[in-house]
Structure 1
Amino acid sequence: MRKDEKVSVFAGKQAMESEPISDTAGNVRKLSGAVRVIFIVIAAAGALFHLFVLNFYPVDPWIFRSIHLAFGAVLGLMLFKAGKKSVNKISIIDWAFILAIIFVTAYICIHLSALLFRFGVMPTRMDAIVALLGLLIVFEITRRTSGWTLPVLAGIFIAYAFLGQYLPGILHHRGYPWERFVTYIFGLDGVFGVTLDVSSKYILLFIIFGAFLQMSGVGRYFIDFSFSLAGGMRGGPAKVSVISSGLMGMMNGTSAGNAVATGSLTIPLMRRVGYAGRFAAATEATASAGGQIMIPIMGAGAFIMAEITGINYSEIIIAAAIPAILYFLSVFFMVDFQAIKNGMKGIPRKELPPLKGVFKQSYLFVPVILLIGSLLSGYSVIRSGTVAILACLVISWITPENKMGPKKIIEALVLGMKNTIQLLAVCATAGVIVGVIALTGVGQRFSSMLLGIADTNVLLALVFAMLISIILGMGMPTTAAYAVAASVVAPGLITIGIPLLTAHMFVFYFAVMSAITPPVALAAYAAAGVAGTDPFKTGITAFKLGIAAFIVPFMVYYSPELMMEGAGFSIAWAFVTASAGIYLLAASVQGWFVKKTAGAVVRLLLVAAALCLINASLLMDTIALGFIVSAVIYQQFFQKDKAKLSEKEIVA
């Protein structure tokens, strides 16, 4: 890499951070003139309204959530075009939708007392019309921001609500009048239920926090820190992608958006040191998906988990710490083996941010450290998030080039609201699915089915739950994928005797993995767009890269110590053996073990050892050790050395 190339690469970070929103759908408007000013005023007012209500002046939950939805819908209709080929100007239909959502919000606020008793029970015709209009707007902004997948899935569930009375077996229910159904779904048990509650209180707060991190220079420091730490290692840019995507992705809330944001920097660098384009895109996608598991924010999914389970947020992030580390270890091992096989080197130290300078700016970690400390000290999530936002503001004043004055503060507030639009819409539509599941009782029927499978084999029930979680999550952001899986799958796991938090962590983990699981690997498709590679083949490669992480949720079930349960030594030993298991599985997938190519027999022995290490017991660990020793002996004395694999064989 030439010196001028280095300057252009790291200058690109600033461009990446100033990009307001990830346009994965290709239909974001370029606002200008008076419309842009109106958008900025509404967005800044919306952010300040939420911060004020959350910290100083609580209002009725339904009113707060309806205003939250209204802000998101108005901004979404202004920012997102109806389609890629639509004109840039806001159309008459868009303005009509905007007036409609304002009317729906006003109707709820004015008639709140009566609606609390009527909606979903004995609605009037006007109630039903208002609810239907609100649902149409929710579906439209979700379609514009996230594509057709989630609205179509929600439409299937709605169709089931009306057709279930004609279906046999576990899918049968008694049916519902349309007025009752539509008001129930657009009420506190559907659209305005748990998912939108979390969006209005936590997701928005932490996306604003992420915007302040970017504007204060902390986000850029994360990238510098990652490059300084791992850029010089073999295959360094891939490892930078793993670290930086984890740090940035935990605040992003969508793996696809994170893949585009950080991938615009890391993918070109990976290709420059020798990684194939498809592998580079797949690495970024896999790392970005892992950002949704990264504590303490976990891409906002943890907040939904806390609301659904009633478990304290601090307990969730403590329990999620080791599984998150194991995920990134698995990806790290995979890219490291790839670098070894290809003989890749890192970026020369002179072309990386100097370690001394990076450590001198370590104070930029203060907002994140303060956030974690506040959460673990028992302060509320809202108070902790607000303090962290203020810490970003104060930290920015220490470095003159990042000092946040009134203009930058407004930019951060607007950026936060922009980046909230997609997740807000997704949470509202996910609420429709959750509402249908609750109304029809189909979730309980799936629980009974899982219970029947578990009577035969618990492992089989877990595999079945994994498949359902991945299928339900395909094509959806993590928050929506988890919300749906938590309604359908988690109750069944709890019924068969799996602890509450373990069950929800299991489905959450696989909801995250759905972003890199073909045929609809959303994060891989987004990264492929940056790399210019085939989306489906990139998804296949991302799946292979992440496959070692697929055993982590099973490890969590069979070894509760991995969720910080038990004595300190037991937890440490479980972590060591689990890490070894992931290493062995990665070695098997990549076909590289003990500094040489691993043949088919060695691969099978490594897989067997990895599966034994799922269960943290002395007997299984001993058996695993036997498989490992057998693999080493066979590789050294019986396996014929093979020529170095070609790039085509490695990538395939």
Structure 2
Amino acid sequence: MKTSLQQETVFAHIQSGLQKLALGIALIAALYHLQLVINGIPEAYRFRTTHLSLLLPLAFLIKPSASQNRPWLLSWDLLMILTSAGTTLYLSYYDYATIIERLPGIDTLTLPQVVIGSALLLCILEAARRIVGWGMVAICLAAVAYTLFGGLISGPFAYSGSTYTDLVDKLIYTTDGIFSIPIAASATFIFLFVLFGKFLERSGAGGLFIDLAFALAGRSRGGPAKMAVITSAFMGSISGSATANVVSTGAYTIPLMKKAGYSPSLSAAVESASSTGGQLLPPVMGAAAFLLVDFVGIPYTDLIMTAAIPALLFFVGIFAAVHFESVKLGMKGVDKSLIPAWRSIFLRIYLLLPLVIVVAVMFMGYTPYLSAVLALISVIVFSAFRASTRMSFRKILMTLIDGTKDAVLICVTCAAAGIIIGVAAETGLGIKFTSVVLGSTSNSLLLLLFFMMIASLVLGMGLPTSAAYILIVAIAAPSLIDAGLEPIAAHMFILYFGVFSAITPPVAISSYAAAGLSGASPMKTSLLAFKLCIPVFLVPYLFVYHNELLLLGSPQSIAYQILSCLLGMIVFAAGISGCLHKPLSWLHSGFLVGASLFLMYTNNLLAIVATVAVIALMMKFTTKNLPKLKGSKNENSAY
């Protein structure tokens, strides 16, 4: 007994020491990335390996395998920490000159270089298992197996195969694999914007968003659910993570919806659907947006403008679906005593100025890197205006540390995704996939888009958005571009359905997180969230067929498409929910769905006729009183 107690004491001391080590490394990583805005960014390979050397060991420190019940795994944790730090520092400093001067594919790797590369691959896969899950690891291992044993496959995906040494060379010792575009974006834009989002959240802006949503939507029918939509939109844009958004805002909005009479499943579904879309909302968006910028090769300011209208359509669709469901259930608004006064909101509106600064600096022609740093500094300055939001020195340090820990997920995801990108470059998998898909769709753009949608939803299941986006882009983007899509439209189509995979059954991470907060069935929640999102599933198809929604075209055509699609989205949501100002028959619902599709997808007289018919139908129902519905607080919704 005494020996066991002593062992537990020793284990606790070691764990405490490792936690302090994690704090120290996280702080050093934050300060290292911040000082680059003054001293400049080093050569690409050194910068990316240094970034990984700081964040990869953190993955094992913040997600240890060892515990009081499994102390024997402490040795494995320590081995991973030391190996991940040692291998990356070997690449960035000890053997850096040799690596930079060698000719990849011509100069053969030495045995120590193969061993170091293999050890780093093992560390990345183990970190991905802990941080992302087995799904990402399985995909990476399948990619490696395809590279080594592709000769065993016949047909269009046959590959002659590469040696293991060649594979390690490609993945580790070049910028075409692990240290390619994803890790570059993680080291620059993404890391600093994660820090900025964490500072904005800690400054009191999060509470301001909630109060603003209360004031805007709290009094209307279904106010708690609409408030959840608005709050999640605001917070999701700065957090960049659907699951993190669910956990942070859902802890407040889900109990409020349940108290108002929404079922636990519907409350969780509203929160998860809304939180997922926050990653698509400018100006900050999620980590995948910065990856998109690097892949497409456009300024971030262009993406902000391009993504604005599709994001507006997304939240109009969700908001409309929530409204019509609330009408069907006979819901009321929030009690007036709970709604904050506009005066208190206006007195704190300065907390949102950092968002203005980050956009203004980028539109002035400066890099997103510099704009993120300046905006971060402005958060500290503006939060000091009031004692309640002022950030002490300790709070600033802890925010830097917590922001760095949040960036670990993205860094590990990008490193693991680099394996897939390296394999695609080595084997030509993307070209083969493009050839097969284009050949099977018989030159039908609609059929091609449908296949890409299914592929995005399936491949993205269980993965963070950034991982889903990278995985699908590496394989599928060439197919869409070869079919004639604008590169920005093709990448945004993939991004949208990569985002939607978080709420699509059977593996819906955001929905499951919301269900845990609500005490609801995870599967039922994911099905409800999926149905709430049916209207917004049209958005990617809309901007592919109407590039005007991406602000490509004449001002007149852009204005027409925006107005027709906004109206069509509302009408489509009414048809899907089976309710307008009162429950509708299946015939009326079908008419609304059909009319909305004509309205959104056509540019001729038929669209105008559909619009007139929809308006006439809406006017007809506004003249009738809504009957009281029974059982509004039970799980008897059409959802």
> Does TM-score exceed 0.5, indicating one fold?
yes
Equivalent residues of 2:329, 2:629 under 8 A apart: no
Match status 1:146 vs 2:132: yes
**2:460 paired residue among 473, 488, 492:** 473
- Give the equivalent residue in structure 1 for 2:7: none
Is 1:607 the equivalent of 2:593? yes
Q: How does 1:201-240 map to 2 (within 5 A)?
A: 201-240=188-227
**C-alpha displacement at 1:490, in angstroms?**
1.4
CA 1:89 to 1:62, structure 2 compared with 1: closer, same or farther past 3 Å?
farther
What RMSD, in angstroms, separates the aligned Cα atoms of the two structures?
2.4
- Residue type at the aligned position of 1:257: A
**Any stretches of 5+ residues in structure 2 without a counterpart?**
1-11
Equivalence for 1:79: 62
The aligned residue for residue 20 of structure 1 is none
Offset of 1:86 from its aligned partner? 5.6
Of stretches 231-240 and 573-582 in structure 1, the one that deviates more from structure 2 is 231-240
Deviation of the 1:613 alpha carbon: 2.6
Separation (CA, whole Å) in 2 of partners of 1:240 and 1:617? 34
Cα distance change of structure 1 residues 47 and 130 upon mapping to structure 2, 3 Å threshold: same
**Which residue number in structure 1 is paired with residue 419 of structure 2?**
432
Which aligned pairs between 1:126-165 and structure 2 lie closer than 5 A? 126-165=112-151
State the partner residue of 1:70.
Answer: 53
- 1:584 corresponds in structure 2 to 571
What is residue 58 of structure 1 aligned with on the other side? 41
How many Å apart are 1:631 and its aligned residue? Answer: 6.1
Task: Find the counterpart in structure 2 of residue 18 from structure 1.
Answer: none
* Partner amino acid, structure 2, of 1:52: Q
- Normalised to the residue count of structure 1, the TM-score between the two structures is 0.90
CA distance in 2, matches of 1:182, 1:651: 53
Are the aligned partners of 1:199 and 1:423 in contact in 2 as well (CA < 8 Å)?
A: yes
Please state how far the C-alpha of 1:644 moved relative to its aligned partner.
6.1
Deviations 1:86-124 (A, max 9, x none): 658981221111111121022212212322435555222
Aligned-partner SS, 1:64: helix
Q: CA 1:175–1:32 in 2, change beyond 3 Å: closer, same or farther?
A: closer
Amino acid paired to 1:483: I
Shift of 1:219: 2.5
Alignment CA distance shift 1:645-1:599 (3 Å)? farther
Equivalent of 2:99 in 115, 135, 146: 115
Change (3 A) 1:645 1:119: farther
User: Is the contact made by 1:605 and 1:631 (CA closer than 8 Å) also made in structure 2?
Assistant: no
Matching residue's letter, 1:347 = V
1:270 to 246, 250, 257: 257
* Aligned counterpart in structure 1 of residue 345 of structure 2, from 358, 368, 390: 358
Is contact 2:420-2:471 (8 Å) kept?
yes
Closer, same or farther: CA 119–88 of 1 in aligned 2, 3 Å: farther
Quote the Cα distance in structure 2 between the aligned partners of 1:130 and 1:176. Answer: 19
Number of the residue aligned with 1:495 = 482
**Residue aligning to 1:545:** 532
Secondary structure (helix, strand or coil) at the match of 1:613 reads helix
Q: Distance in 1 between matches of 2:73 and 2:25?
A: 16
Alignment of 1:639-650 (within 5 A): 647-650=634-637
For 2:618 and 2:371, locate their aligned partners in 1 and report how far apart those are by CA, in whole Å. Answer: 50
Q: Give the distance between the partners of 1:137 and 1:620, measured in 2 at CA.
A: 59
Could you tell me which residue of structure 2 aligns to residue 37 of structure 1?
20
Query: How is 1:562-641 mapped onto 2 (pairs within 5 angstroms)?
Result: 562-593=549-580, 595-615=581-601, 617-625=603-611, 628=614
Cα distance change of structure 1 residues 244 and 89 upon mapping to structure 2, 3 Å threshold: farther
Contact 2:150 2:160 in 1 (8 A): yes
Q: What stretches of structure 1 of length at least 5 have no aligned partner?
A: 1-28
Pairing partner for 2:153 from 167, 187, 200? 167
Counterpart amino acid of 2:311? A
Q: Distance in 1 between the 2:604 and 2:253 partners?
A: 41
Task: State the Cα distance separating 1:632 from its structure 2 match.
Answer: 6.4
Q: Which amino acid aligns with 2:404?
A: M
The 8 Å contact of residues 337 and 592 in structure 1, kept in 2 or not, is answered as yes
Deviations 1:15-47 (A, max 9, x none): xxxxxxxxxxxxxx9997544333222211110
For residue 637 of structure 2, give the secondary structure of its aligned residue in structure 1: helix
Q: State the 1:635 CA deviation.
A: 8.4
Aligned to 2:83: 100
Q: Which amino acid aligns with 2:85?
A: I
Check whether the contact 1:120–1:182 (CA below 8 A) recurs between aligned residues.
no
Superposition pairs of residues 448-527 of structure 1, within 5 angstroms: 448-453=435-440, 455-527=442-514
Letter in 1 for 2:176: D
TM-superposed CA distance for 1:52, in Å, is 1.1
Residue 649 of structure 1, CA deviation: 3.7
Per-residue CA deviations over 1:126-152 (Å, capped at 9, x if unaligned) read 222111111111111121122211111
Amino acid paired to 1:604:
G
Identical aligned residues as a percent: 34
Per the alignment, do residues 361 and 498 of structure 1 end up closer, same or farther by CA in structure 2, a change over 3 Å counting?
Answer: same
- 1:103/1:636 Cα in 2 relative to 1: closer, same or farther (>3 Å)? closer
> In the aligned structure 1, how far is the partner of 2:30 from the partner of 2:70?
28
* 1:261-300 paired onto structure 2 within 5 Å: 261-300=248-287
User: Equivalent residue of 1:596, what SS?
Assistant: coil
> 1:475, 1:522 within 8 Å by CA — same for their partners in 2?
yes
Displacement after TM superposition at 1:607 (Å)? 1.7
CA distance in 1, matches of 2:450, 2:208: 40
